Amino acid sequence: MGEKPEAAETRRADGRLTLAEARVARMQWRADVKAGLRSRVATKARELVGEQSKAQTFDAVAAEFIENRGKDRSLRHSDVPTAGAVAES
């Protein structure tokens, strides 16, 4: 049994790393220093890029869904007939 993804995410959010994760982080930080980047700034930039790509991914999926299946679902709430209006027809 290993660590569940939710537990690992929480642990990393708290700043706790496994030995393997710490080794990878050290290599990244050393590369940042050699490139003249400040590690906190570079880490934050990577996080922001990741968040942005997730948002773009969701936007792309939502747009595709609307394009393929949601064309008929674009009615406003006020345009949808009520139960009484349907019975009168």
What pLDDT does residue 88 have?
54
Task: Answer yes or no: is pLDDT of 86 > 70.
Answer: no
What pLDDT does residue 81 have?
62
Task: Answer yes or no: is pLDDT of 23 > 90.
Answer: yes
Query: How far apart, in whole angstroms, are the C-alpha atoms of residue 13 and residue 30?
Result: 21
Whether the full predicted model's pTM is greater than 0.75, yes or no, is no
Percent of the chain with pLDDT over 70: 76
Task: Answer yes or no: is pLDDT of 43 > 60.
Answer: yes
Instruction: Count other Cβ atoms within 10 Å, centred on residue 11.
Output: 14
Tokens for 56, please give them. Answer: 């773009």
Q: Positive or negative, the Cα torsion across 63, 64, 67, 68?
A: negative
What pLDDT does residue 25 have?
85
Instruction: Count other Cβ atoms within 10 Å, centred on residue 88.
Output: 7
